[in-house]
Structure 1
Amino acid sequence: MKILQTPARIFATGGVESYVRNLSRELIGMGHDVGVICADGPGENDIDQRIHTKTLKSRGKIANTSINPYLPLALYREDFDILHTHLPTPWSADWSGLISRLKKRPLVLTYHNDIVGEGWAGQIAWIYNKTALKLLLKSAGGIIVTRNRYVSPYLKDYASKVFFVPLGIDVDAFRPKEAPPKGDIFFLSVLDEFHRYKGLEVLFAALKIMKQELPDVRLVVGGRGCMFDHYRRMADSLGIGDNVSFAGFIPSEKLIEYYNGCKLFALPSTDPSREGFGIVPLEAMACERPVVVTEIMGMARDINECGAGMVVRCNDKEALASSMLAILKDDDLAGRMGAEGRKLAIGKYSWRRAAEQIERVYRELL
């Protein structure tokens, strides 16, 4: 089967990018021919050469969407059996929908989360959701969601073609190993306006509270973006500049060192309409690191039930601080949580299992 994936990017640090990379690898391992067309970006050499990747020069960016005028022609020239696209990046998704109709090929859409925004971006999102999104959802033969019980007002009319497929993790690549100490807490995200919902500002506020009890507590922030300098200034203004180190873009082969080099992973996401499954906490769990996340994460219930970490309310800096302090001050607790997290990752969340479920969706549409 020839499968073409069309994310906005594949190189950047982010959940959708990781999803595309890992799903592509598994599908190739299952004997499929997988290609990717996306915008260029930093880290282009950090990609599996087995994935036939074609990059197009980005001519700008609106919110989280790279704009490329050459995309429609590039898509039309490709030969594929299945076109698999992704939201919340409309440009690549909408052109994929149009090309799939023109070429009479099935379209699969992974709906990671709603398209929302603030200010002018919110107005554009509202117009898009009332118009182009409806056409895209109608065009899709199958719509994949990564969170069970994910309720989007835009999907209610398409329930008959919605498939729940949880994300996976490469537990052989992400595993516990010796690593030089990096810090106490690790946070990873794209540092731009669109990804503010990942909760770094809340994490900074919690760190300020924690500093009263643990003056030398250290947070490592991974990722780059247009708000990189903004966050550095924010840390300084809050009086936690000496407690925060910014690692910048971290290549995938180095990520395991950061997960293992810190004592816990935190991702206090704040917006349920934007947050999808949340793959980076799963990577941390596979490395036997306890995680602290908010209740909106796709795996929050599993984390609570198996004791792989702690789940707090959104925007609750006090609860976030106390949860992280409890883990950092109790090595036995951290060890138990880490062990339970890896067991959960191995037992329930494998990329092969996810790829097999998605393959079944493909075959239903052919």
Structure 2
Amino acid sequence: MKVLQTPVRFYPFIGGVEQYVYYISKELAKYDDCDVTVICANEPNNVSKEQYNDINIIRLKYFGKIANTNITLSLPNVLYNEDFDIIHTHIPTPWSSDWSNIITRIKNKPLVVTYHNDIIGTGVANTIANIYNKTALKFLLNKADKIIITQDDYIQSPHLQNYKDKIVTIPNGVDTTLFKPQNTKRQKHQIFFLSVLDKFHKYKGLDYLLRALVNVKVTIPDIKLIVGGKGELLEYYQEKVEEMGLKDNVEFKGFLEDEEVINYYATSELFILPSISSLQEGFGIVVLEALACQTPVISTNIVGVADDVINTNSGIIVPPKDVDALADAIIEILSNPELREKMGYAGRKLVQEKYEWKKIAHEIHSLYEELL
């Protein structure tokens, strides 16, 4: 089977959708009967065609962005001229998903949509998002042969209510052969946060983590937050850190390669993802990666793995935007080495049993076979 994946961007661009597409494509390419091609914008890589981990990658020139979507004018023609059996596209990325919809209709081919989260915005962007949701999104979901959601709760999205008969839940995953404990020492009182630092990812909750850190510092003066990721708001966050008196407690590391990310997971005593928007937070793959590295986590009850974190006691789940609860959870875990060790083992066991990418890809491969 010839599969086209159409994210707006792709590895080495770092983001939740990009990670998802990379890992399922990498695993699907291992099947003898599966040929995987990713068509995306050439951000950040300018190479037009390449192969990586047996994934064929076609990168298209883009002409600016609308919201967080690269506009690749050649996409319709490239999709139409590709020989494929099925297209797997992704929401919230209009343009690439919409053209995938149109081309599969023209060629009478199956379309799979992974619905990662709702499309929303603020101000004018929110008005545009509402118009899109009432028009093009409906057109896309009507055509889709299968709609994948990564957590059961997302079926409550108002945009999915008419499509429950073709929705299936397949969670995100993690590569436990790559993300694993390292033979390195944990740095005392070091915590880790990882995200793109732009306005579209403010829902990851870094503002609230910094506010919580002010409270934590009273009890743990040498608390150290490592922030991985870059974006247009980097300077904004650096200024906030100065204003809040946290200059000695926060380090911004910019873009991190996989090896560096794994190192910070493995050398930190705690990973934190304090997401604040259930409409925008699709799952939280970084939580799984941290757990796979045997690192306890703190997150909020809107991430896809929250219930499993609670049930396995592999971290602490707090309400979104609750700065006091977040600070208390950080202090509780950092002050208890025995608790950290138990949580770490429980988290690693959880991802090995339920969230291996190999298992996730097998479910998606079976779904493709069913449609074909």
After TM superposition, the score normalised by the length of structure 1 is 0.97
Q: Secondary structure of the equivalent of 1:154?
A: coil
Root mean square deviation, CA, Å: 1.6
Q: Which residue of 1 is the match for residue 98 of structure 2?
A: 94
Q: What residue number does 1:12 align with?
A: 13
Task: Give the gaps of 5 or more residues in structure 2.
Answer: none
Q: Which moved more, 1:316-325 or 1:176-185?
A: 176-185
Which residue matches 1:29?
A: 30
Distance 1:216 1:65 in 2: 40
| Structure 1 residues not aligned, in runs of 5+ | none
How far has the Cα of 1:47 moved from its partner? 8.3
Cα distance change of structure 1 residues 299 and 44 upon mapping to structure 2, 3 Å threshold? farther
- Structure 2 equivalent of residue 168 of structure 1: 173
- Residues 1:180 and 1:78: Cα distance change in structure 2 (over 3 Å): farther
1:48-87 aligned at under 5 Å gives the runs: 48-87=52-91
Range moving further from structure 2, 105-114 or 183-192: 183-192
Which deviations, in whole Å up to 9, do the C-alpha atoms of 1:66-110 show, x marking residues without a partner? 111111111112111110000101111111111111121111000
Question: 1:216, CA displacement in angstroms?
Answer: 1.4
Shift of 1:54: 0.9
Contact kept, 8 Å, 2:26 with 2:53, in 1: the verdict is: no
How far 1:227 moved relative to its partner? 1.1
Residue 186 of structure 1: aligned partner: 192
Contact 2:301 2:317 in 1 (8 A): yes
Structure 1: distance between partners of 2:243 and 2:192: 21
Q: Larger deviation: 183-192 or 79-88?
A: 183-192
Question: Which aligned pairs between 1:132-151 and structure 2 lie closer than 5 A?
Answer: 132-150=136-154, 151=156
Cα distance, 1:238–1:43 mapped onto 2, change above 3 Å: farther
Q: Which residue of 1 aligns with 2:44?
A: 42
Contact 2:87 2:110 survives alignment (8 Å): yes
Distance 1:252 1:114 in 2: 28
Contact residue 43 and residue 251 of structure 1 kept, 8 A:
no
**SS of the residue aligned with 2:219?**
coil
Counterparts of 1:58 and 1:189, CA distance in 2: 23
Contact residue 38 and residue 55 of structure 1 kept, 8 A: yes
Alignment of 1:1-366 (within 5 A): 1-10=1-10, 11-31=12-32, 32-42=34-44, 48-150=52-154, 151-179=156-184, 184-366=190-372
Instruction: Tell me the CA shift for residue 43 of structure 1.
Output: 6.1
Determine the C-alpha separation between the residues in 2 that align with 1:258 and 1:8.
Answer: 28
SS in 2 for 1:224: coil
Normalising to structure 2: TM-score of the pair? Answer: 0.95
For 1:342, what is the secondary structure of its paired residue?
helix
Aligned residue pairs: how many? 366
Task: State the alpha-carbon separation in 1 of the partners of residues 218 and 307 from structure 2.
Answer: 31
SS state at 2:153 partner: coil
Tell me: CA distance 1:263–1:26, structure 2 relative to 1, closer, same or farther (3 Å): same
Structure 1: distance between partners of 2:45 and 2:71: 19
Cα deviation digits, residues 151-188 of structure 1 (max 9, x gap)? 11111101111011011111111100124666711111
**Paired residue type of 1:82:** I
Residue type of the partner of 2:238? Answer: R
Identity within the alignment, %: 49
SS in 1 for 2:190: strand
